[in-house]
């Protein structure tokens, strides 16, 4: 069975003519609404990804949990932010499991 596509001709339909003439308001769908990911965090996350590959988020989670249990809250927030940059669901699961709120912006150099 063949499928035939017939594009609408704006000359004959004023509604389509208005839609086609309207300026498109484009916005990237992957923008971080909360602004947690800064350039510094993104650079550190990419560096971490280049070192650990596809297991980078898991390794960042391990580092975050290790820092949490050793009492180093600054490193915990940093590694959880790296984990969140690479895999948001994994970082949300860590904070939910520990019963802690998600960390806000952190500026520590990793």
Confidence category of residue 110, pLDDT binned at 50, 70, 90: very low
Residue 107 lies in a domain: no
Percent of the residues in the chain that have a pLDDT greater than 70, as a whole number? 58
Contact by Cβ (8 Å): 18, 61: no
Confidence category of residue 29, pLDDT binned at 50, 70, 90: low
| pLDDT value for 103 | 54
Q: Which residue has the higher pLDDT, 7 or 65?
A: 65
Which tens digits make up the pLDDT trace of 51-83?
A: 999 999 999 999 999 998 999 989 999 999 999
Measure the CA–CA gap between 33 and 35, rounded to whole angstroms.
6
Q: Average pLDDT, stretch 8-35? A: 58
| pLDDT value for 109 | 43
Q: Which residue has the higher pLDDT, 78 or 14?
A: 78
Measure the CA–CA gap between 24 and 90, rounded to whole angstroms.
35
Q: Which residue has the higher pLDDT, 97 or 32?
A: 97
Residue 109 lies in a domain: no
Number of domains in the chain: 1
Q: Residue 108: count other Cβ atoms within 10 Å of its Cβ.
A: 13
Domain residues for the domain of 36 are 30-98
Contact by Cβ (8 Å): 64, 106: no
Residue 110 lies in a domain: no
| pLDDT value for 108 | 47
Any idea what DSSP says for residue 62? H
């Amino acid at each position: 069975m063949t499928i035939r596509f017939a594009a609408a001709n704006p000359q004959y339909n004023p509604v389509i003519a208005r839609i086609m003439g309207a300026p498109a308001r484009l916005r990237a769908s992957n923008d971080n609404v909360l602004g947690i990911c800064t350039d510094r965090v993104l650079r550190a996350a990419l560096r971490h990804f280049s070192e650990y590959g596809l297991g980078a988020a898991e390794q960042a989670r391990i580092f975050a949990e290790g820092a949490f249990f050793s009492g180093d809250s600054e490193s915990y927030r940093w590694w959880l932010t790296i984990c969140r940059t690479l895999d948001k669901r994994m970082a949300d699961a860590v904070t939910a499991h520990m019963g802690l709120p998600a960390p806000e912006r952190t500026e520590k150099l990793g």
